[in-house]
Amino acid sequence: MIGAVVEGDPEVIISAPAKIEEAGPGSITFLANPAYEHHLYTTGASAVLVGLDFTPREAVSSTLLRVADVYGTVSNLLAVYQQDEAAKTKREVSAHAAVDPSATLGENVRIGKFSVVESGASIGADTVILDQVYVGPNVSIGKNCVLYPGVRVLRGCVLGDDCILHANVVVGGDGFGFAPDPETGRYNKVPQIGNVVIHDRVEIGASTTIDRATMGATVIHSGVKLDNLIQVAHNVEIGENTVIAALAGIAGSAKIGKNCRIGGQVGIGGHCKLADGTQVQAQSGVINNITKPGAKLGGSPHMHYPDYLRSYAVFKHLPSVVAKLRKEIMELKGRMGE
């Protein structure tokens, strides 16, 4: 099935995958990261996937299965064991769902219990809407998507094909736009009449929120992966295959390039443009445009990350660094007759 070169007992029977440090008889595991190699010599796993050119330093009791791409093979194997809600559920519209007669459902669409599909919405073939989901008026969802329980996609938002939205994601809340009234100090709401457009193969983590644009669209391009509890504000644009970790906040109208990697709890300031391949260290804050592709950023406000680490290394000892300089100056003064 996986095209491996077998080294050891070819008759070994495998029932489930496991992590190398937890694996017991009957399980298959893998070794890709050299830092875990020591587990190979003590694991109880019946079989271990390793690279084609891996050479063990000690005796191995498990059967070795040599493959060209260890991570890829693991991923394929896990998919066999995957039994998620979408895979398990019957392809039907639940009698407990409320689907407006004007909505359009493709072939083989499932709508779960207590889910709502509002007027004018359309849902592509093979898409699974699990329970307690809200699909608002005129929303368009592509083919083969999965929307987990509690997802809310509000009026007029658009999803492409093969997207996964995890539980309690909100797409299309109003952007945070208010016009201050200089006389009263009150803030008047600026209506948010744009939408959110999400392209293909986008995965969005639990409880992440993506606001609709004031005008136009907040755009998430193909292949973007967002972790949990991320805030994406109105009129933001995120480029293809960019990955963002949990609790990051992207302020209004920021434009993030392709293939960027944004760490957890990062803040990207309003209207900032990040070039393709920008990498931002966790907890950093980016406050203006990054024009050079592939920059590595850290600190708040951001700076070149290696420079941040060098400055921070001095900061860690700042009291003694300053005290030493003072002492040397004092000694010089003393020697000059003070």
Count other Cβ atoms within 10 Å, centred on residue 186.
10
Segment 261 to 320, residues that bind a second copy, using CB under 8 A: 264-265, 267, 269, 282-283, 285, 300-301, 303, 307, 310-319
Which residues have CB under 8 Å from 300's CB, separation 6+? 267, 283, 284, 285
158 scored as a contact of a second copy (CB under 8 A): no
CB of 238 to a second copy, least distance (A): 14
Number of residues that bind a second copy (CB under 8 A): 114
The number of helix segments (H) and strand segments (E) in the chain equals 5, 37
Among 42, 102, 104, 188, binds a second copy (CB under 8 A): 188
122 scored as a contact of a second copy (CB under 8 A): no
Among 231, 279, 293, 296, binds a second copy (CB under 8 A): 231
For every residue of 159-190, DSSP letters joined together read: E-SS-EE-TT-EEEEPP--EEE-TTT--EEEP
Task: Sketch the per residue contact string, 28 through 57, with a second copy: x for CB under 8 A, - otherwise.
Answer: ------------------------------
Among 74, 103, 123, 129, binds a second copy (CB under 8 A): 74
Q: What are phi and psi of 134, to 5 degrees?
A: -115, 120
| Active-site hit among 234, 271, 304, 317 | 234
Is residue 38 annotated as a catalytic residue, yes or no?
no
CB of 296 to a second copy, least distance (A): 15
215 scored as a contact of a second copy (CB under 8 A): yes
CB of 138 to a second copy, least distance (A): 9
CB of 59 to a second copy, least distance (A): 25
167 scored as a contact of a second copy (CB under 8 A): yes
- In angstroms and rounded to an integer, the radius of gyration of the C-alpha atoms of the chain is 27
The DSSP bridge pattern shows strands 237-238 and 217-220 to be: parallel
Q: Which is nearer to a second copy, 61 or 231 (CB)?
A: 231
Q: How far apart are CA 162 and CA 141, in angstroms?
A: 10
For every residue of 1-25, DSSP letters joined together read: ---PEEES-TT----EE--TTT--T
2 scored as a contact of a second copy (CB under 8 A): no
Which residues have CB under 8 Å from 236's CB, separation 6+? 218, 219, 250, 251, 252, 253, 254, 255, 256
325 scored as a contact of a second copy (CB under 8 A): yes
Q: Which residues participate in catalysis according to the annotation? A: 234
